[in-house]
């Protein structure tokens, strides 16, 4: 199914449905020290256009709902995130989705952007789409990402062995650490996440 994609706006970040108009901004965001991206797949400046076309094709196939992350204060594109892997009941109603394919330009990684972005995405999932579950996964070796997911309320469920294509050069498959949030946990998680955004903003 193709997920609805409204613009989601917070105080520090605005999530805009990804389009070709974001190519130049993403190219600038990706033109950074590659070591800061860790285990995450981030396009190079030379491959950003191909990356966007890939995401748009996946969107049209109902596989993903991609967003450009835009800094509210400046209007500058600072990264990408998405909903993907929507799962539906027999009647076609959505009950679960994953948040992933997330990356930020280095100077946006330490502040409130990631926490507020997750707050926007999760609020839309639970309070508008009415899902029962949201998944978040990362390379099992990615301690920074695992800590960030736990900090926004993700509950660790375990490691799936050899479950995804590795993003590391020269590797084939990776183990994935799986986290989730389910609807009954959301009110408490939302309160903690809002407090985290406030702290991160200083």
Domain membership flag for residue 165: yes
Q: What is the pLDDT of residues 2-54, one digit of tens each?
A: 899 999 999 999 999 999 999 999 999 999 988 888 778 899 999 999 999 99
Contact 129, 113 (CB under 8 A): no
Domain membership flag for residue 2: no
Domain membership flag for residue 74: yes
Domain membership flag for residue 189: yes
Domain membership flag for residue 42: yes
Inter-axis angle of helices 113-123 and 186-201, nearest 10: 150
Please list, in sequence order, all residues whose beta carbon lies within 8 angstroms of the beta carbon of residue 195, skipping any fewer than 6 positions away.
none
Q: Which residues constitute the domain of residue 24?
A: 8-201
Domain membership flag for residue 3: no
Q: What is the pLDDT of residues 162-186, one digit of tens each?
A: 888 877 777 889 899 999 999 999 9
Domain membership flag for residue 105: yes
Regarding pTM above 0.85, the answer is yes
Domain membership flag for residue 52: yes
CATH number at residue 177: 3.40.630.30
What is the number of structural domains in the chain?
1
């Amino acid at each position: 199914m193709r997920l609805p994609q409204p613009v989601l706006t917070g105080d520090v970040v605005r999530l805009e449905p990804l389009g070709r108009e974001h190519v130049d901004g993403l190219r600038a965001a990706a033109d950074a020290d590659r070591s800061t991206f860790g285990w995450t797949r981030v396009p190079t400046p030379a491959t950003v256009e191909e990356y966007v076309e890939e995401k748009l094709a996946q969107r049209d196939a109902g596989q993903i709902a991609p967003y450009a992350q835009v800094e509210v204060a400046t209007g500058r594109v600072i990264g990408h995130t998405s909903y993907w892997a929507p799962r539906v009941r027999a009647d076609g109603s959505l009950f679960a989705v994953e948040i992933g394919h997330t990356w930020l330009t280095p100077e946006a990684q330490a502040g409130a952007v990631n926490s507020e972005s997750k707050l926007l995405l999760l609020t839309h999932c639970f309070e508008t789409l009415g899902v029962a579950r949201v998944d978040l996964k990362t390379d099992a070796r990615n301690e920074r990402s695992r800590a960030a997911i736990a900090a926004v309320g993700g509950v660790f469920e375990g490691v799936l062995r050899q479950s995804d294509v590795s993003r590391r050069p020269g590797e084939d498959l990776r183990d994935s650490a799986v986290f989730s949030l389910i609807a009954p946990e959301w009110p408490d998680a939302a309160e903690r996440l809002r407090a985290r955004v406030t702290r991160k903003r200083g």
